[in-house]
Structure 1
Amino acid sequence: MTSTAPKADLRALARPSGAFAMLAVDQREGLRAMMAAFQQAPVTDRQMADFKMAALRALTPHASAALLDRELAWDRAIAEGAVAPGCAKIVAADVLLPGNGELVSESSIDDLVVPATVKAQGAVALKLLVIWRPDDPPEPRIALVQDFVARCRAGGLISIVEPVGRKRRDGIAWNHADGILPAARELGGLGADIYKAEMPLFGKGSESEVRRACAELTRTVQGPWVVLSSGVEPDDFPQAVDWACGEGASGFLAGRAVWRTVIGKPDIEAALRTDAVPRLQRLAEVVDRAVAG
């Protein structure tokens, strides 16, 4: 069922150009796995939280919004003022569960993220990750998104829905990129204020092929959509974002393409300044030019 309710005012999340240049630091077990590749000892929650705070301090002066998780980042970021003034705050309102050989196999709405509470703390939006599999029934996913959107509306918060493809349960091989458009057909008209999509074709293929896939996503999603960076190499992401915005995307909400290359560096804060900040600045320039032009 398509929602006909009025859309929220999204300007709080956007740059002056109207484009979205949003930073994600809500990664949980995925971040732990990235950090584990560079050390022998188990990665602690404190290590991850310290990295998130450093990333927020370095990068949010250059982002239009920042996405934080409740478990490791939200309360500490608020207490320490880690998010720069003028950068809107988004809370990840999802519980991410492992299984099926995957770091994130299922998701649900996090009832510990109370809309009224986080709004009073400065949040303007919530985000929900939805796991999409071609051989799972659509009804539970649809109900999940509808519940989330209703909670956001009732709480006066912008809703961001992020469908992410996973392997089939029956073990039959399939190309994850083939699920991006079907997921949008299923979930892109349920009233979410922003649809956060995996990059069509994961940015692989000729410019014309990627652009056609992005244009189809624009025709499918009933509202603005932005791209995430998982599945795209950091050096390739600016070009992918440029193509997506040229075909109707409104920007990005991404983390790995901005800060993944600094993981494991001996001086994280210096690496954030010299590597991650220029990456984010370049991406902001790309979306400003593409959306305004």
Structure 2
Amino acid sequence: MEYDLLSKLAALKRLFDENGIIGALAIDQRGSLKKMIAAGSSRPLGNEGSIRFKEVVSEELTPYATSILLDPEYGLPAANVRHSDAGLLVAYEKTGYDATAGGRLPDLLTDWSVRRLKEAGADAVKFLLYYNVDEDKKINDFKRIGAECAAEDIPFFLEIVTYDPKIDNVKSLEFAKVKPHKVIEAMREFSKPQYKVDVLKVEVSVDMNLVDGYAQGESAYSQEEAEAYFKEQSEATDLPFIFLSAGVSADLFQQTLTFAKKSGSNFNGVLCGRATGKNGEQAGRDWLQDTGKKNIQVINVVLKETASSWFDKITG
């Protein structure tokens, strides 16, 4: 991807820190968030509960994050109370996916466009894609959106979540064995220039819960195999890429970043949701000021020791 447009470059700089590393907070969840909030409340909170929760998280945690990812449906009020130094990513997809035509097809938000998201203050647009490299090509053809972002001169962050239609449990040993292939080939595919992606947001290429030395029981990979997968994943793209936390514990995610660095991965940061705020939606502002803040600060320290600058990828 060519970074020859000054406005796009300026927008990317607002999302990363001065060293070219991103430590972003993701609270673009919608349906799942409502369920979690409802589980900790004695009365229905509806949309207002989601809106207020996102505002509180934004107020308390964006002073420690380089940027925040929000949805336009319930998250834009939270954008207005974020720390002045925090950049803004906005999600463009509806929650969930359409499986009626085969595969897991994403849907765009009906009442929004990239232009409207940019006018609402977005520094970048994020799109979540459920992707299986081994599925029918006709399904894959639906999964392109970069041209709209390019036309509006706004960075495009593509989040890729892999799956296999024959394996329901993505936490299983069976899926762990095919995951490296799925993740690496997805990165290779969407690094092609026709997709016009600026930054990839991706899973780590292995299930760290099933790496020898980290697994509680049976493992799917030796540490040497896991290191090789991390290195192959990094070499599959010339684009900046960041890891998503995928709901693992804060401690394991921190260990994962250290392991990735040791393996030779040139990742450029993280976009964390549950790993920095697990169960925070039920504990409230006090939890955010204590555990939530500490989790982000620890991640930031780990990132300084492990992540690579995205500047290296646009100058070299």
What TM-score range do you get, normalising by the shorter chain? Answer: 0.7 to 0.9
TM-superposed deviation, 1:35: 3.1
Counterpart of 1:202 in structure 2: which amino acid?
D
| SS of residue paired to 2:158 | strand
The 1:46/1:218 distance shift into structure 2, 3 A limit, reads same
Give the conservation status (yes or no) of the 8 Å contact 2:104–2:131: no
Tell me if 1:77 matches 2:74. no
TM-superposed deviation, 1:105: 5.0
| SS of residue paired to 2:123 | strand
Give the conservation status (yes or no) of the 8 Å contact 2:66–2:86: yes
Q: Across the two proteins, how many residue pairs are aligned to each other?
A: 282
The aligned counterpart of 1:197 is 202
The aligned counterpart of 2:160 is 163
TM-superposed deviation, 1:191: 3.0
Give the conservation status (yes or no) of the 8 Å contact 1:142–1:186: no
Which segments of 5 or more consecutive residues in structure 1 lack a partner in the other structure?
A: none
| 1:274 alignment partner, one of 266, 269, 290 | 290
Counterpart of 1:213 in structure 2: which amino acid?
Y
CA distance in 2, matches of 1:137, 1:215: 28
The 1:16/1:5 distance shift into structure 2, 3 A limit, reads closer
The 1:31/1:223 distance shift into structure 2, 3 A limit, reads same
TM-superposed deviation, 1:38: 3.3
Which segments of 5 or more consecutive residues in structure 2 lack a partner in the other structure?
A: 213-222, 310-316
CA distance in 2, matches of 1:263, 1:82: 17
The aligned counterpart of 1:260 is 278
- After superposition, the C-alpha distances for 1:69-97 in whole angstroms (9 at most, x for unaligned) are 011112x234xx21110100111011233
The aligned counterpart of 2:219 is none
CA distance in 2, matches of 1:171, 1:226: 26
Tell me if 1:21 matches 2:36. no
Bigger radius of gyration: 2
| SS of residue paired to 1:239 | helix
The aligned counterpart of 1:130 is 129
CA distance in 2, matches of 1:292, 1:223: 12
Q: Which moved more, 1:149-158 or 1:30-39?
A: 30-39
The 1:242/1:261 distance shift into structure 2, 3 A limit, reads farther
CA distance in 2, matches of 1:41, 1:99: 31
TM-superposed deviation, 1:273: 0.5
The 1:140/1:47 distance shift into structure 2, 3 A limit, reads same
Q: Which moved more, 1:280-289 or 1:197-206?
A: 197-206
Counterpart of 2:270 in structure 1: which amino acid?
F
The 1:181/1:87 distance shift into structure 2, 3 A limit, reads same
TM-superposed deviation, 1:39: 4.6
RMSD between aligned residues:
2.9
| SS of residue paired to 1:286 | helix
| SS of residue paired to 2:196 | coil
Give the conservation status (yes or no) of the 8 Å contact 1:105–1:166: no
Larger relative strand fraction: 1
Give the conservation status (yes or no) of the 8 Å contact 2:71–2:91: yes
CA distance in 1, matches of 2:29, 2:58: 13
Task: Provide TM-score, normalisation by structure 1.
Answer: 0.84
TM-superposed deviation, 1:216: 1.1
Aligned-residue identity in percent: 22
| SS of residue paired to 2:55 | helix
CA distance in 1, matches of 2:208, 2:94: 28
Give the conservation status (yes or no) of the 8 Å contact 1:202–1:232: no
TM-superposed deviation, 1:160: 0.3
| SS of residue paired to 2:94 | strand
